[in-house]
Structure 1
Amino acid sequence: MELKESPTAEAGMLIRRPVAEVFEAIVDPSVTTKFWFTHSSGRLDEGKPVEWEWRMYGVSTRVEVSEIVANERIVMQWGDPPTTVVWSFTEMPDDTTFLEVRNFGFAGSGDEQVNQAVGSTGGFSLVLAGAKAWLEQGLTLGLIGDRHPKGISAEAVSD
């Protein structure tokens, strides 16, 4: 199967918090660990690689920020092989923010790229839902940790 366009994972969510607060939730691991990864070697900053860990799964990834525009945009590369993730923060009326994330640059055959994009879309949808719950209500939902519980195979989850 030949793809005419590279598959892109996309997810977006309105978060009822000011744009500066939503932006900070993505760059500051003391906040991000409330709804996404469990540990980080530091804050997101342009040109300073960090390591993110999901200790419940025993996995980690290196994250490199290639561009950061406060309260507007973060462009980062992560994974092996690396893909690009673009976070876009749009200030909305009434101190709300539309947070959109796009992930692209997947490797492999067309089918493999599509499967990675579908999985990434689902993952980022959970991240945004978790961010919304934390930032709006102070709730830690455990969405990422509960996505792949022990004893459930990845094949069973995707069926």
Structure 2
Amino acid sequence: MATVNNNFAKAEMLIRKPVSEVFEAFVNPEITSKFWFTKGSDKLEEGKSTVWTWEMYGFSLNVLTKVIDENKRIVIEWGNSGEATIIEWVFNSLDEKETFVSITNSNFKGDTDKILSEVRNSTEGFTLVLAGAKAFLEHQIQLNLVLDRFPKGLS
């Protein structure tokens, strides 16, 4: 899927696990909650909405799954009405034990400063998500990267 405009964030990482395991980690909230959000209402399924919750921040988000191409691609839409962005995961199996994951977040709207801020935040966030996924899937370690991104007491 091509990005909707030139305003996009991108994060990529090699995860040394088979593509089926890496793909499942992003569609199944029981696994995703080990490295990203704390709770998901259901597995991602094409054409259906899901709620993801970050309990540590008291925040939930509706996610509409646009595309599920098993072991290859996920496309979702998330965000407030009129400000929703598109997130696309691409899973490239390098061999039976390695998967290269690319996450692109696009369709940011607003003035230049707002777009730059959103792109920066998204790039930081998805880089942490991929690092957390890598640690969990390869080593069964929960790094709490998303939790520690905004520690209490700092603004």
Q: Distance in 2 between matches of 1:6 and 1:99?
A: 21
1:157 maps to none
Q: Which amino acid aligns with 1:55?
A: E
SS of aligned partner of 2:113: helix
1:31 maps to 31
Q: 1:116 Cα deviation (Å)?
A: 0.1
Q: Distance in 2 between matches of 1:18 and 1:79?
A: 31
2:50 maps to 50
The structure whose Rg is larger is 1
SS of aligned partner of 1:56: helix
Structure 1: state its 5+ residue gaps: 154-159
Q: Which amino acid aligns with 1:52?
A: W
1:130 maps to 132
Q: How many residues are treated as equivalent by the alignment? A: 149
Let me know the Cα RMSD of the aligned residues.
0.9
Structure 2: state its 5+ residue gaps: none
Q: 1:6 Cα deviation (Å)?
A: 2.8
SS of aligned partner of 1:74: strand
The 5-angstrom pairing of residues 80-159 of structure 1 reads 80=80, 81-153=83-155
1:21 maps to 21
SS of aligned partner of 1:103: strand
TM-score, scaled relative to structure 1: 0.91
Q: Distance in 1 between matches of 2:6 and 2:59?
A: 26
Matched-pair identity in %: 48
Q: 1:95 Cα deviation (Å)?
A: 1.4
Q: 1:103 Cα deviation (Å)?
A: 0.1
CA gap of 1:122–1:93, structure 2 versus 1, over 3 A, is same
Q: Distance in 1 between matches of 2:95 and 2:66?
A: 29
1:71-128 deviation per Cα after TM superposition (whole angstroms, max 9, x unaligned): 0000100012210000000000351000110001112102211110110000000000
